[in-house]
Structure 1
Amino acid sequence: MNTISFPSRQSGSAIDTVIFDWAGTIVDFGSFAPTQVMVDVFAEAGVAITLDEARGPMGLAKWDHIQALGRTPEIAARWCERHGRDMSREDVDAVYQNFMPLQVERVGRYSALIPGALQAVENLRARGIRIGSCSGYPRVVMDAVVPMAAEAGYAPDCVIASDDLKAGGRPGPWMALANMIELASCDVAACVKVDDTTPGITEGLSAGMWTVGLSASGNEVGLSWEAWVALTPDEQQACCRPAEDKLRGVGAHEVIRTVADLPAALDRIEARRARGERP
């Protein structure tokens, strides 16, 4: 059996593994690929939902995301008005079947790397940190995204998709722990999960890891890069504050704006580890 070899880190307080989410974290500033397609597939089913509504359950596996939308009171009422019944498992299956090919077709439109992502990853590599990843996307979508990211210069050491594991996806710890196994990481307290959604933060916490939430680049703010940089500093702060509160509210140990700020956040986590703190 092949084994993976990584450089060892000398300090007992050092972080040795960072596990990234994808959309809204490393690629797709504003996390548009999954949300806009959700709007479109519900429209195909005769039920209008807004982009903000589509963002609500973000971070879940996509079948679960669709089911969660169908259980939202306002959307459930619209579904019942259109179809004369509550959204059933069979309805979720049908919407999901429509979602998948559309997601694969469109994901490339939104999968540009987030500014500063490559530099942050290079910093981690220089520190001897293993790079893992997981996503709410199923494997068929990840098979489209991963080569695009590699072409742009980002190639994590491990990629786990939401349907790779029998145990399921977020908010459970399974994808994060599968990264640990694949990367031969020995201590969950030396691992950091980085995500822009509350289920992704809960995933890392459930696995016993440190967690870093991203407020500006992801689902909670939901702006494109162009729209984000057009804001004044005060406007940016106002946009980020609710996202920061939400991510801290579910237990994120650090909240930063984008992955470009991650190296400094890791320094702070390593300082906490040096003081004997654990996640």
Structure 2
Amino acid sequence: MSASAPTSRRLSPPDILGRKGGDPIVCLTSYTTPMARISDPHCDVLLVGDSLGMVIHGLPSTLGVTLEMMILHGRAVVRGSEKSLVVIDMPFGSYEESPEQAFRNAAKVMVEAGAGAVKLEGGQHMAETIAFLVARGIPVMAHVGLTPQAVNVFGGYKVQGRAEDAARVRSDAEAVTRAGAFSVVLEKVPHSLASRITSEIAIPTIGIGASPDCDGQVLVVDDMLGLFTDFRPKFVKRYAELGRTAGEAVAAYAADVRARRFPGNEHVFSDEAPEPKK
């Protein structure tokens, strides 16, 4: 097979693990079939993040997201993609009680949505659960640093791992590595700490508000496209302003309807059927 030939299968968790220290891993969130189709040719991982609660459903945080919501959106992303590894977030309350609870719900997500892996938040205290899932055939992407499902414990979306707290975040990253996670998201941690963790652990780090030294990067796609504008974290780079463009398009449509410019003759049907082409 030539280097330019299209891939014949999806990327797998072992493929992503094998990228440690290699070409940067490109990851974006995706929640719908159209966005998956747009992102899939360019990404290695499509993350069906529980951020969909805020971005798609208008919730104030991720805490109200249900397992059913994740499965519904996960199916849509799987249908809209061909090559990217699809990873689905386990929502708050679906895995923390016990490894057994986590397995039941993660298995449901994997089977019903067709995902290639799940992601769950937490470090040392979730290591046993990660090991339990991996031993039973469920690949796990871990998530340490700022874990949004624990926002009430942290007292807000604050940077994690500064000063003496760096030891905790390092220990979390080491714990999920030993437990068998194939990669770990580092969210909102200082540049130097993320760089150090990346050099110390054997699995890829995927940064969001972390460091360019991470093995990969992830952003919420609606943030980077300018579609979600309720707030703009420092770590978001806007690659487009589609929200503004969409607003202008809707305003133009409304003006055309009110002025009876739309629909035009080219958008309506005549009384007579067109002659069949010979």
Q: Give the TM-score band, short-chain normalised.
A: 0.3 to 0.5
Structure with higher strand content: 2
Of structures 1 and 2, the one scoring higher in RCO (CA 8 A, sep 6+) is 1
TM-score of the superposed pair, with normalisation by structure 2? 0.34
TM-score of the superposed pair, with normalisation by structure 1? 0.34
Computing the radius of gyration from Cα coordinates, the structure with the larger value is 2
Structure with higher helix content: 1
